[in-house]
Structures are given as structure tokens and as C-alpha cells.
Amino acid sequence: MSRPQALDDGTMQSVSPVTAPVLAVKDFSLTFKAGAETNLVESVSFSVSPGKTLCIVGESGCGKSVTSLALMGLLPSPPARIVSGTAEFNGRNLFAMPERARADLRGNEMAMIFQEPMTSLNPAFTVGQQIAEGIMRHRDVSKGEARAEALKMLEWVRIPAPEKRLDAYPHQLSGGMRQRVMIAMALANRPKLLIADEPTTALDVTIQAQILALVRQIQAETGTAMILITHDLGVVAEVADDVAVMYAGRIVESGPVEAIFGDPQHPYTIGLFGSVPSLGRRQGRLATIKGAVPPLDLMPKGCRFAPRCPLADSRCHDEVPPTVPFGDGHSAACWYAPIEQTMEARQ
């Protein structure tokens, strides 16, 4: 696979693997039921580097949101319990930090935005008050300075008539505008990591395009690392540097975006691409993935995709497949990867 190349003298924005990741998650498993046979999120690993965007893509219920909430320290425990794993953020393991230290990070060095802005906006306060409050919580500034900073943030996220919007209440804004306000709030303290959970899912395509363009531009300006969670492969194609495809709590394929789109290897990834109608002329029926994601109490013990996978055989049902590397950070968890070679033998 070809990746964007850094210039020899290394002056270009670095794609070199030596950059230390902002966040490195290793072998993360999570459950909601003590003593449950299977974990909701099972042995998940990924990392994201400064200025880069990792997209976690997968269908609903596969554990994307609980993973991001766990990283933010926003998942109430109990009932949630981290069964294994580490999350190194700037060299410190988030999962081993006391709650106070994590509260200091939240909204400061790491920030999150949600699909529905009203989950993080308080309807009783003006936009300006809320952004200023977030700034004052983590920085030693006066009310006036915080308000001035809030105004700058609104300008930065290109809200029209920002002075006027500073005193607006969230319900007075359109959906796209609220999403911009939430981005302004999240970025106010210049986080090193931004987690965006389906930030454009509720928006029309025209507004989605505006928000994605904004996010890309902000990232170029600040070098913030971003984890963007989505179920939309179009959004992935548009913004990702790296991709982790998640299915039923596991990462089934991951790698650079060019590899995932140009050389997809896992049957789930392939089925997912086949399910999305093309924008070009119609090419017959859509490929589908039969059935639905299994509920946790019916989770297969081998490959979790086996009940829906056209290629599954008895080994797939019984044994968890290994993660097969294809080089350049691209890998897939499937007994039959690389797919064409092994399938030719079975056809």
C-alpha cells in the first residue's frame, strides 16, 4: 500500500512512525456484568498520533460509544468494569489514574463531542456562559478574559454573528450551529485529543460537509489528535488517516485508510462496503450481511462474525481467529486472511 510520503528531510507533516502516539490503548476489555462469559468490548487495541484522525467504524451496539466513554472516564463503574487493558495518554495510564486527575484532563487535555449537542449543552445557560465556564474551570483567567476567549472560539468555528450568538441559548440555534458551539467548547482549552462520537450523524449532508471541513481545518491548525466514531464509510473516506473496523466489541480490521478502502481483507469489512449503495450507476442488487449483530448473551465463542459470515466454517465457530498482519500497520482478525489466496483454494 502506498501512504502519503514524508519528504526525505522530514520537514513535511510527519507520517513517520516515530511520532509518539497521544493515546495508545492496549488489550482493552470491558463488561457490564460481573462474571459474564463474554466481554462487551474484547481485547481492543489502537493508537492515535498528534494531528492524525483515527476513525472507529462499526454498526450500532458494537461498543464504540462505551469505549470512548471509558477513555474519557465518563462510564459509571459499577455497572461498567474494565476487565483488562491500558490506555496510555501522554505516557500515563488513564485506567490507573485517580478520578480527580481524570477530571482535570476532561474538557482540558482531552475533550469529547457527541452526536446530539444537547447532551453536553445546558439549555439554561447562554452559549457564551458555557464556553467561558469550561475555560475558567481549567485556566486561571478572569470572567472577562474567559468571555473574550469564548468569542474567539465562536469566530474560529465560523459561527455567523458571533457577538450575538454569545448571548444566545442553545435552543435558539440550528442543529449545525449547536454542533459548532460544542466543537468550540471542546476545543477551548486546546486538547491534545478530541473524541468525536458520531458528530455529524444527525445532520444533513450539506451541514455535515461544513462540519467535517471545519474539523479538518482545526486539526491542521492545532495538531490535535482525533478519534472519530462513525458508522458512515463516506465520513471515514473523507477524514480518516487510520481506521479501526469494530464488530460486536472487537476490532476485526485496522490500518491506514488507503489500505482499508483499497485492500479490505476482513469479510465484515467487505460486506459493509457491499451494503453501501454506490453513487455511480446502479450495479445490481446490494450485497448484504445476513442477520444482525448477536446480543451479548448469544455471543459466539469463536469468531464473533461467524454466524453472519458467508465464509465461516467449523473452526471459525469454535476458535477466535488470530490477527493477521499485512504490513504497514494493516491487519485483520480472520482465519482466512489474506482472503483471495485462501478462498481460491476453497472455491
Binding site for ligand SF4 (CB under 6 A): 266-267, 303, 305-306, 309, 311-312, 316, 321, 334-336
- Contact between 79 and ligand ADP by CB under 6 A: the answer reads yes
What DSSP string describes 43-74? EEEEEE-TT-EEEEE--TTSSHHHHHHHHHT-
- Contact between 142 and another protein by CB under 8 A: the answer reads no
Contact 291, 306 (CB under 8 A): no
In 3D space, the residue among 110, 127, 122, 126 whose CA is nearest the CA of residue 184 turns out to be 127
Rounded to a whole number of angstroms, the minimum distance from the CB of residue 288 to another protein is: 5
Nearer to ligand ADP, 40 or 212 (CB): 40
Contact 218, 185 (CB under 8 A): no
Sign of dihedral through CA atoms 11, 195, 138, 87?
Answer: negative
Contact 266, 60 (CB under 8 A): no
Nearer to ligand SF4, 107 or 267 (CB): 267
Nearer to ligand ADP, 204 or 319 (CB): 204
**Nearest residue by C-beta to Mg ion?**
65
Nearer to ligand ADP, 99 or 140 (CB): 99
Q: Stretches 54-62, 114-122, 155-163, 178-186: which one binds ligand ADP (CB under 6 A)?
A: 54-62
Q: Stretches 18-26, 74-82, 173-181, 322-330: which one binds another protein (CB under 8 A)?
A: 173-181
Is the omega angle on the peptide bond into residue 21 within 30 degrees of 0, that is, cis? no
Helix (H) / strand (E) element for 24: namely: strand 23-31
Among 31, 208, 224, 331, binds another protein (CB under 8 A): 208
Q: 159 Cβ partners below 8 Å, 6+ apart?
A: 165, 177, 180, 181, 184
In angstroms, the CA 110 to CA 225 distance is: 10
Nearer to Mg ion, 120 or 129 (CB): 120
Contact 151, 161 (CB under 8 A): no
Nearer to another protein, 135 or 183 (CB): 183
Which residues inside 310-329 make contact with another protein, applying CB under 8 A?
A: 310-311
> Which listed option, Mg ion, ligand SF4, another protein, none, makes contact with residue 305 (CB within 5 to 8 Å by class)?
ligand SF4
CA 204 to chain centre: 20
Among 25, 48, 57, 66, binds ligand ADP (CB under 6 A): 66
Among 238, 246, 306, 321, binds another protein (CB under 8 A): 238
Which residues inside 58-77 make contact with Mg ion, applying CB under 5 A?
A: 65
**Residue whose cell numbers read 457577538:** 163
What DSSP string describes 226-288? EEEEES-HHHHHHH-SEEEEEETTEEEEEEEHHHHHHS--SHHHHHHHHHSPPSSS--SSPP-
How many degrees, rounded to 5, is the angle at CA 235 between CA 320 and CA 205? 140
# chain residues binding another protein, by CB under 8 A? 67
Rounded to a whole number of angstroms, the minimum distance from the CB of residue 346 to another protein is: 8
Nearer to ligand ADP, 55 or 337 (CB): 55
Q: Report in angstroms the alpha-carbon separations of 160 from 71, 107, 180.
A: 33, 24, 11
Rounded to a whole number of angstroms, the minimum distance from the CB of residue 320 to ligand ADP is: 19
In 3D space, the residue among 304, 294, 318, 296 whose CA is nearest the CA of residue 38 turns out to be 296
- Contact between 115 and ligand ADP by CB under 6 A: the answer reads no
Binding mask 95-114 for Mg ion (x = CB under 5 A): --------------------
- Binding residues for ligand ADP (CB under 6 A): 32, 40, 58, 60-66, 79
- Binding residues for Mg ion (CB under 5 A): 65
